[in-house]
Structure 1
Amino acid sequence: MKRFVLLDTAEIPGTQGALCLFEYGDDFVIKIAGGDGGQLMNTRMHGSEDALAAIPCKKIASRANARVLIGGLGMGFTLASALAHLRADAEVAVAELVPGVVGWNRGPLGAKSSYPLSDPRTRLIQGDVAEVLKSQNAAYDAIMLDVDNGPEGLTQKSNSWLYSAAGLHQCHRALRAGGMLAVWSSSADRKFTEMVSRAGFSVEPVQVYAHGNRGTRHTIWIAQKRA
């Protein structure tokens, strides 16, 4: 009988919270320490994390020297998906706030996504993706955000800036002409769709299955920068 085995706990910088990594049979699970037992992510269901990168990266795949930014390393599946769809001359920057998550991905957890941090196209930024974005102007061909459960921050209240009008306008500034923005969420949000549009994007919310072609579906906003 499978059971959850706690492997490690990692503090979330700037908060009193922490993330916990569990082994569950052949899979790994990340939960919030002291939470209700719900899973933030697991290695068995990552279809929407794959799609978060696959959909926008396919649209820019032919661009020479493409530069993309991923907010949130998670279990590495979004990073791996981006690398799979981009050319050999691309650079994929991934910003991860929690040092422990980086360590987990360099350890046994990383095998589930084929250790994308080891790819020479990967540039790891250990810090808050919001701080990275604030200093950028026309720097990226695509930005993919998966730092929380969606427009309503769960693990860190400061994440709400990324989903605010100011944060979305900064994403617009940080993108090159025709650049793509993709935002992951556990649920749909009509008001957020309208906010993305007002920030200067042509946007479509896409429903993606978490695993296979049935069961839980997540929302990914796919937005292209208007001139």
Structure 2
Amino acid sequence: MRLVVATCQVDYAGRLSAHLPMATRVLMIKADGSVLVHSDGGSYKPLNWMSPPCTLREGLTEDGRTEWVVTSKTDDTLRITIEEIHHESAHDLGVDPGLQKDGVEKHLQELLADHPATLSDGLTLVRREFPTAIGPVDLMCRDAEGLSVAVEIKRRGDIDGVEQLTRYLELLNRDPLLTGKGTVRGIFAAQEIKPQARVLAEDRGIACAVVDYDALRGLDDPTERLF
């Protein structure tokens, strides 16, 4: 990532036009090719930006000032005229592991582990974080007929979550200890499941369960705990 603090003017031309007069701002050029212009306010949102794929050309204006011209694949143009650079640095941030959500999702898993029958009648817990070679399954359960059921839990269920559970099921169904009584089936549980994810899950024989977090919290009575 390249960070530049500069006194600059920014002009955008595309489906609409926008102008930022000369002022000191932070210019951010990320490894994915995006270019963002930030002020010292407005929270996280940039004043203007260009999303990848785009190209950045650095040159000089007729009066000798530095000029960056950022062009998108649709020929929109972000022109940054720099009067003075106050600071410039570059940093290799490496590969980001992505956001690992905790809190609600973790508590949701705990609540469903305590009350698996809310997902399907007769469902009982075998183990939380059931280990596999490609990662742990959130809940491994057993249904009323004694068949193994793998449960993947998300706050918001999308296609990636269905794909993840599909990979788990493919692996689990190779284990004779789990398939002795029949095929391991899956339940995709989330507070909200996107329509495309539901279609994909049902096409693959995976059941979907929309979970009411607040209702589950009502089942978790703190007065009944020892600790």
**Same fold flag (TM > 0.5):** no
**Bigger Rg, which one:** 2
Structure with the higher strand share, 1 or 2: 2
With normalisation by structure 1, the TM-score equals: 0.32
Of the two structures, which has the highest relative contact order with CA contacts closer than 8 Å and spacing of 6 or more?
1
Structure with the higher helix share, 1 or 2: 1
With normalisation by structure 2, the TM-score equals: 0.32
